[in-house]
């Protein structure tokens, strides 16, 4: 029988969905050890700040969250502040020196020891640094921080690509694929908890390899998990999207016709300076092949503006490509120089104001593309997975919309509950969102027909 603790733990988690999975595992370990989890930080005896250290703005947000937790420690009930996650992994000693309000700094490998660490700091009141070499942590209990009907599923940890701007290898180490059996087992457990959609995560999903099982094989195996209706693949590398992956995307009913494929830039000189392994021709060929092989596929990408050496001419090539490629979803980051990366000391740094202005120009172009694509959907019948209430209206998503980063569908004429699939007619469109009315068609039969019609 689990011993109940009198102490309450609060968790603040920042950054990407991969970090969110770590937070869910820490919450699962804490709950399993008998701690009470509270969403009200003012009630917490211990506040864990699961930080992001990817780019400067993320680091600043993490520091602000730590300082707010420290304020609660000084003024309220909180007895201890624990700094976890990527920022802790990267700046272990500096954090305790610069933020003496914190009691513990733990790295990404310590996720499974969080209950033990909380007990120690509460009982002894000591300052601790526990930062080990990065490892893949999996197989722990999880407490959902998303609606239960969609869950993130990490299939690997770290990255070995060594893009010149990226600090991920410094934080998370080299790429490590999880055993396929553990992924399939966890997928089954998440489905039993109510997950209808699983979103596969890795820094480079196309690098996944466990013995003979590669990404396409893994995805195909996951389609057999009972209860899961949508599988979504995130973060693929342009030059590694294989024919077999395209085949799975096109033919497997449960696999969303959606792919997140960060290209970062299209100018070959910039791609080379970024140490990207794809040329502009590779990127174009991959996009063309995906659209031919997977009818109706939605493509999301990420770009960087203001990388060192990005001239106005190089930027204009990127802007022209955005207009040419017409991505369904697109995110842009202004370049952030990160200590320890090979791009940090590159000459020809672009002023921050110029990088931000270029970012705005990209997003203005993308807004027009997105509005055009959304308007083209008006009048069509689609399947929507209901997510819940937003702005006092029930919302859901199409298979071509990932949660939290893409648009939503505002729903009317339905009393469907979160986690249910409904058939809708699209009645309106904005730059990023859709409006729809539910109809009476049987959800599952229509969902199957929708992908089958696209594949013909």
- With cut-offs at 50, 70 and 90, classify the pLDDT of residue 1: very low
Q: What is the CATH number of domain 8-130?
A: 3.40.50.12160
Q: What is the model's pLDDT at position 4?
A: 55
Separation CA 199–CA 227 (nearest Å) = 14
Choosing among 3.90.1150.10, 3.30.1490.20, 3.40.50.300, 3.80.30.20, the CATH entry for 150-374 is 3.80.30.20
Q: Are 164 and 124 in contact (CB under 8 A)?
A: no
Handedness of CA 92, 98, 99, 102 (dihedral sign): positive
Domain 381-455 belongs to what topology? OB fold (Dihydrolipoamide Acetyltransferase, E2P) (2.40.50)
Other CB atoms closer than 10 Å to residue 4's CB: what's the count?
A: 10
Separation CA 433–CA 345 (nearest Å) = 41
- Taking only the tens place, the pLDDT of each residue in 381-432 is 999 999 998 888 999 999 999 999 999 999 988 889 999 999 999 999 999 9
CATH 3.80.30.20 placement within the chain = 150-374
Q: How far is CA 401 from CA 161, 312, 385, 386, 409, in A?
A: 27, 32, 10, 12, 9
Q: Are 185 and 224 in contact (CB under 8 A)?
A: no
Other CB atoms closer than 10 Å to residue 233's CB: what's the count?
A: 28
Residue 86: closest CA among 16, 175, 178: 16
Residue 446 has pLDDT above 50, yes or no: no
In this structure, of 27-36, 155-164, 342-351, 435-444, the range with the lowest mean pLDDT score is 435-444
Residue 38 has pLDDT above 80, yes or no: yes
- What is the average pLDDT across 42-63? 87
- Backbone torsions φ then ψ of 292, nearest 5 degrees: -80, -40
Paired tokens of 410 = 């505002």
- Backbone torsions φ then ψ of 334, nearest 5 degrees: -75, 135
CATH 3.40.50.12160 placement within the chain = 8-130
Residues in Cβ contact with 313 at an 8 Å cutoff, skipping those fewer than 6 apart:
none
Q: How many CA atoms lie within 13 A of 357 on its CB side?
A: 8
Q: Answer with the residue of higher pLDDT: 190 or 120.
A: 190
- With cut-offs at 50, 70 and 90, classify the pLDDT of residue 46: very high
3-state secondary structure the chain: CCCCCCCEEEEEECCCHHHHHHHHHHHHHHHHCCCEEECCHHHCCEEEEEECCCCHHHHHHHHHHHHHHHHHHHHCCCCEEEEEEHHHHHCHHHHHHHCCCCCEEECHHHHHHHHHHHHHHHHHCCCEEECCCCCCCCCCCCCCCCCCCEEEEECEECCCCCCCCCCHHHHHCCCEECCHHHHHHHHHHHHHCCCCEEEEECCCHHHCEECCEEHHHHHHHHCCCCCCCEEEECCCCHHHCCHHHHHHHHHCCCEEEEEECCCECCCHHHHHHCCCCCCHHHHHHHHHHHHHHCCCCEEEEEEEECCCCCCHHHHHHHHHHHHHHCCCEEEEEECCCCCCCCCCCCCCCCCHHHHHHHHHHHHHHHHHHHHHHHHHCCCCEEEEEEEEEECCEEEEECCCCCCCCCCCEEEECCCCCCCCEEEEEEEEECCCCEEEEECCCCHHHHHHHHHHHHHC
Residue 316 has pLDDT above 70, yes or no: yes
- What is the average pLDDT across 348-352? 92
Question: How high does pLDDT run on average in the chain?
Answer: 90
Q: What is the model's pLDDT at position 6?
A: 77
As to burial, measured by CB atoms within 10 angstroms (0-12 exposed, 13-18 middle, 19+ buried), residue 415 is exposed
- Taking only the tens place, the pLDDT of each residue in 139-155 is 899 999 999 999 999 99
- Taking only the tens place, the pLDDT of each residue in 239-269 is 899 999 999 999 999 999 999 999 999 999 9
- With cut-offs at 50, 70 and 90, classify the pLDDT of residue 75: confident
Residue 441 has pLDDT above 50, yes or no: no
- With cut-offs at 50, 70 and 90, classify the pLDDT of residue 130: low
Residues in Cβ contact with 179 at an 8 Å cutoff, skipping those fewer than 6 apart:
210
Residue 152: closest CA among 262, 52, 17: 17
- With cut-offs at 50, 70 and 90, classify the pLDDT of residue 47: very high
Beta partners for residue 82, in sequence order:
48, 104
Strands laid side by side in the 298-305 sheet: 150-154, 197-201, 230-233, 255-260, 298-305, 329-334
- With cut-offs at 50, 70 and 90, classify the pLDDT of residue 456: very low
Residues in Cβ contact with 230 at an 8 Å cutoff, skipping those fewer than 6 apart:
150, 196, 197, 198, 254, 256, 385, 399
- Taking only the tens place, the pLDDT of each residue in 88-101 is 888 877 887 788 87
Residue 125 has pLDDT above 70, yes or no: no
CATH 2.40.50.140 placement within the chain = 381-455
Look up the pTM and report it. 0.91
């Amino acid at each position: 029988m689990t011993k109940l603790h009198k102490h309450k733990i609060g968790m603040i988690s920042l950054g990407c969905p991969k970090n969110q999975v770590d937070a869910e595992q820490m919450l699962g370990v804490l709950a399993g050890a008998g701690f009470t989890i509270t969403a009200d930080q003012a009630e917490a005896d211990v506040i864990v700040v699961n930080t992001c250290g990817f780019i400067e703005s993320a680091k600043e947000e993490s520091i602000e969250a730590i300082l707010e937790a420290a304020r609660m420690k000084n003024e309220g009930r909180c007895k201890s502040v624990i700094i976890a996650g990527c920022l802790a992994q990267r700046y272990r000693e500096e954090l305790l020196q610069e933020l003496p309000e914190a009691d513990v700094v733990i790295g990404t490998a310590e996720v499974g020891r969080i209950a033990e660490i909380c007990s120690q700091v509460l009982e002894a009141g000591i300052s601790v640094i526990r930062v080990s070499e990065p490892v893949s942590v999996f197989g722990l209990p999880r407490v959902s921080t998303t609606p239960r009907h969609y869950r993130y599923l990490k299939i690997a940890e770290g990255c070995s690509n060594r893009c010149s701007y990226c600090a991920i290898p410094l934080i998370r180490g080299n790429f490590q694929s999880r055993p396929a059996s553990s992924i399939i087992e966890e997928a089954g457990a998440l489905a039993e908890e109510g997950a209808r959609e699983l979103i596969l995560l890795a820094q480079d999903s196309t690098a996944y390899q466990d013995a003979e099982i590669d990404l396409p094989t893994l995805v195909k195996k996951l389609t057999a998990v009972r209860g899961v209706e949508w599988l979504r693949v995130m973060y693929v590398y342009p030059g590694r999207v294989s024919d077999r992956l395209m085949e799975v995307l096109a033919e497997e009913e449960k696999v969303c016709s959606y792919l997140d494929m960060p290209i970062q830039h299209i100018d070959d000189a910039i791609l080379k300076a970024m140490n990207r392994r794809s040329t502009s021709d590779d990127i174009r060929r991959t996009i063309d092949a995906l659209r031919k092989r997977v009818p109706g596929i939605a493509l999301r990408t990420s770009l960087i503006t203001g990388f060192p050496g990005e001239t106005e001419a190089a930027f204009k090539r990127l802007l022209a490509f955005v207009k040419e490629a017409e991505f369904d979803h697109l995110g842009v980051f202004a370049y952030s120089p990160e200590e320890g990366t090979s791009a940090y000391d590159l000459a020809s740094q672009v002023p921050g104001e110029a990088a931000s202005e270029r970012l705005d120009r990209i997003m203005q172009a993308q807004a027009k593309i997105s509005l055009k694509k959304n308007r083209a959907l008006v009048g069509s019948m689609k399947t929507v997975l209901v997510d819940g209430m937003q702005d006092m209206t029930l919302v859901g998503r199409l298979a071509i919309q990932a949660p939290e980063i893409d648009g939503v569908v505002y729903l009317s004429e339905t009393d469907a509950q979160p986690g249910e699939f409904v058939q809708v007619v699209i009645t309106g469109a904005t730059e990023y969102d859709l409006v729809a009315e539910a109809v009476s068609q049987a959800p599952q039969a229509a969902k199957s027909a929708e992908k089958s019609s696209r594949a013909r």
